[in-house]
Amino acid sequence: MDRLIFHIDVNSAFLSWEATRRVRNGEEDIRLIPSCISGDPSKRTSIVLAKSQSAKKFGIVTGESISSAIRKCPDLYIAKPDFVLYEECSRAFKNICRNYAEDVEEYSIDECFMDMTGTKILYPDPIKTAYEIKDLIKKDLGFTVNVGIGTNKLLAKMAGDFEKPDKVHTLFLHEIESKMWPLPVKELIFVGKNTSDKLERVGIKTIGDLANSELRNVKSLVGDKLGQQIYEYANGIDETKVEGENRRAKGYSASITFEEDITDIDILNKILMGLADSLCTRIRKDKVRTGCISVNIRFMDFKNKSHQTNLYDVTDITKDVYQIAKKLLEELWDKKNSN
């Protein structure tokens, strides 16, 4: 049976979720003006967590300081982050997805994968079903998503990253050559700036160039593990499963994916604080506490690193979880930079 995977990605999630709340309260839609989500602009450590399409036109990027963003766009509207709201919106759109698929993997707070394999009798037209899900989320929840459709998670996610917002795209095996291979090699998942620079220096400028290169040459450039991975990805190969909740060990997690690489530990700590708050809100709601905390980060060179610790006393307090997670993150960061 051919696999069928959907990837659902909220468009400018943090900003869209804040905008949706304001629209429901009869306020202006901040998605239509230069705007962003950030902390207090008077503090040097405040950074852009999300931005509108209008703000993007001014060259504002995720992760830059808010003072820099204001210099680019003096009329930039700034809204404060609200991770409790984000968690509510995240849960709401994923619940809609669960009405269509048994296995839904929470890839991050604003993304999920749906395993639609074997649903042909219920949903004979995958594209029509994708539009139905997209439009239902927009109608019921007030924000837009992109839906990518493919025969594996890689192709579905790549399709979801095509033209935005509020779109449905396919990337099936027979479409790889026409839709994916012409893209710049840096557009391939897990190809960061350092890797793309190495590839481009030897003439591998597109995903198609990478797919048609000699594997041994790719490995010699970027290492065996990463070389094997990106070579397979360039050829549309990905066997990883959609890990639905019923397949995972009991636990709680919160994560986020950014369009740009984040290289500043202070920025990551601020993001971590919001994720810890979101996570502990769920833990307290379920009336449980945690005795183990783990942090996982993915670097621009594709390497994943995780660090965890067991607690002497279980907790559901945001400050406790954040302080421990912060320490774990800093240890990972130091280890990465010492390699």
CA 203 to CA 324: how far, in whole Å?
Answer: 45
Contact 134, 127 (CB under 8 A): no
| DSSP tag of 65 | B
Specify whether 111 is catalytic.
yes
- Helix ranges restricted to H, 117-214: 126-141, 153-160, 193-201, 207-211
CA 210 to CA 163: how far, in whole Å?
Answer: 23
Contact 193, 300 (CB under 8 A): yes
Given 18, 105, 106, 111, the catalytic residue: 111
Contact 113, 120 (CB under 8 A): no
Structure tokens that stand for 254 in this block? 């919160």
Structure tokens that stand for 161 in this block? 């990253």
Contact 26, 69 (CB under 8 A): no
Q: Could you tell me which of 152, 144, 141 has the C-alpha nearest to residue 168?
A: 144
Q: Specify whether the backbone of 287 is left (phi greater than 0), alpha (psi in -120 to 50) or beta.
A: left
Q: Could you tell me which of 227, 231, 236, 230 has the C-alpha nearest to residue 152?
A: 236
Q: Specify whether the backbone of 171 is left (phi greater than 0), alpha (psi in -120 to 50) or beta.
A: beta
Contact 37, 14 (CB under 8 A): yes
In the Cβ-directed half-sphere of 305, how many Cα atoms lie within 13 Å?
15
Residues forming the active site: 111
